[in-house]
Amino acid sequence: MTSATLTIDLSALAANWRALDCATEVETAAVVKADAYGLGIAKAGPALAAAGARQFFVAMASEGVALRRVLGPGPAISVFSGHMAGDADLIRAADLTPMINSVDQLLMHVEALPGHPFGLQLDSGMNRLGMEPAEWSALRDIALAQRPTLVMSHLACADTPEHPMNAQQLQVFEEMTAGIDAPRSLAATGGIFLGQDYHFDLTRPGVGLYGGLPFVDATPVIALDIPVIQVRDLLAGETVGYANAYTAAKDKRVATIAAGYADGLIRAMGANATLTHEGAKVPVIGRVSMDLITVDISALATTPDNLQLIGLHQSVDSVAAFAGTIGYEILTSLGARYDRVYLTS
């Protein structure tokens, strides 16, 4: 088989949700935006529901529709982007809960879908989505009279526990929501590990479910094994790849493997990257091209059929570090050409 194999362990995904749920004494949702962080909402959604998740979050209404199709009635599905123009039919048909971000969205929602559930998103300092304190102060009584299902905000620096922004946002959120009856939510994955003060009534883990930091004890969810197409002997002084990007200082054994930036393997990782074979690390040489990567396998005693980029020996965050990015980007960039294998036990 020419295509690489992306193995997705749904039992590990479920185990991560249960572990994060046990880390608090409040309800735990599951964030499945961007097609479950690139792993496939049609498989990940039901696996998380079977693990016990009864609240889900997506980025936009169309994602909520796709999730409702696989979950069926029952679980709550909230939409971070709120109620956008043209969303009313989708929200109604799929029984979605928009997280209202502004006065305009609130007016649009109550006019288009009177009585339909909604939540509220407040801006506690991230300056991205949600009502700022002045806007919220003017709208608070009107919005709360409509009985929102949830009032939430989002932490900007939760992955850095010592950052003063965390305590600042916590204080602002507490001030903005003081005295309300609606359930409250502030913590995503990173916020869970900041402690009980950040948990409120509901946590919303995302990347931690899929094996990413800052959940350092997460069970690995994915493995990416890439087939070797060809192996050649490289003589000292010969070059590899576009622009002669690599020149061999001595004789080498080089494997060309079947994946590249068309498969979401970021070109910037280049010669910083390694792959593994039975735990032994072997370096990428030359440039990552559209469909191919060249790897120095001189240190291996045998010629492998496959090399592994992500798995037990290299996490998704390790691979992200090769490219100077984050695990989120690696996960959500994983391409459509992989042979996806889902494990359930």
| 222-343 homologous superfamily | Lyase, Ornithine Decarboxylase; Chain A, domain 1 (2.40.37.10)
Apex CA 284: angle with CA 241 and CA 217, to 5°? 150
pTM of the predicted structure, to 2 decimals: 0.95
* Residue of 37, 43, 210, 242 marked active site: 242
Q: What is the pLDDT of residues 101-123, one digit of tens each?
A: 999 999 999 999 999 999 999 99
Half-sphere exposure of residue 23: CA atoms within 13 angstroms, side-chain side: 29
Q: Mean pLDDT for the chain?
A: 96
Tokens representing residue 290 in the block? 């559209």
pLDDT at residue 146, rounded to an integer? 87
Q: What is the mean pLDDT of residues 229-241?
A: 96
Tokens representing residue 252 in the block? 């080498």
Q: What is the pLDDT of residues 268-278, one digit of tens each?
A: 998 899 999 99
Model confidence at 1: pLDDT above 80: no
Supply the DSSP symbol for 131.
B
Model confidence at 62: pLDDT above 70: yes
Model confidence at 133: pLDDT above 80: yes
Query: Under a CB-based contact definition with an 8 Å cutoff, are residues 6 and 340 in contact?
Result: yes
Model confidence at 94: pLDDT above 80: yes
CATH topology of domain 9-210: TIM Barrel (3.20.20)
* Residue of 33, 198, 261, 338 marked active site: 33
Q: Closest Cα to residue 152, out of 119, 109, 127?
A: 119
Confidence of residue 282 (pLDDT cuts 50, 70, 90): very high
Q: What is the pLDDT of residues 141-174, one digit of tens each?
A: 988 988 999 999 999 999 999 999 999 999 999 9
Residue ranges covered by each domain of the chain: 9-210, 222-343
Q: Quick check: is 242 catalytic?
A: yes
pLDDT at residue 190, rounded to an integer? 97
pLDDT at residue 2, rounded to an integer? 80
pLDDT at residue 345, rounded to an integer? 79
User: For the chain, what is the total number of helices (H) and then of strands (E)?
Assistant: 11, 19
Confidence of residue 25 (pLDDT cuts 50, 70, 90): very high
Alpha carbons 69 and 92: distance in angstroms, whole number: 14
Alpha carbons 198 and 94: distance in angstroms, whole number: 31
Buried b / exposed e along 165-186 (16+ C-beta atoms within 10 A): ebeebbebbeebbeeeebbbbb
DSSP SS3 for 155: coil
Confidence of residue 322 (pLDDT cuts 50, 70, 90): very high
Q: What is the mean pLDDT of residues 216-238?
A: 97
